[in-house]
Amino acid sequence: QQQVKQSPQSLIVQKGGISIINCAYENTAFDYFPWYQQFPGKGPALLIAIRPDVSEKKEGRFTISFNKSAKQFSLHIMDSQPGDSATYFCAASMNYGGSQGNLIFGKGTKLSVKP
């Protein structure tokens, strides 16, 4: 119930291509879905996040698509660049009486963008 399943484990994309990372969850009480980007030796940085009242959110080259009925959400990176090479984590949490609860993380996707 608390698990967030992320795929693929690793991804190689050519520069300029589209990177797609998928996540699925079971607990329908989750109401907040952030994506984090982590470079080697650094802490995770919030990239983009979505709540279930919208099906898509776009910020620059990064888009989250959300399918509530399928309990799936995905990250699309358009025009992928070598500087996007990092590990990406999806996560989910639920609201407890006005307080956002603990983040449950996926296992991560290591993205490599080839020049």
> Residues 17, 32, 57, 112: which binds other proteins (CB under 8 A)?
32
Answer positive or negative: Cα dihedral of 91, 74, 32, 42. Answer: positive
Contact 90, 27 (CB under 8 A): no
Interface with other proteins (CB under 8 A), residue from 23, 25, 30, 106: 106
Stretch that binds other proteins, among 12-20, 54-62, 74-82, 94-102 (CB under 8 A): 94-102
Q: Which is nearer to other proteins, 69 or 99 (CB)?
A: 99
Gyration radius (Cα) of the chain, Å: 14
Residue 40 in the binding site for other proteins (CB under 8 A): no
- Residue whose tokens read 């999806």: 90
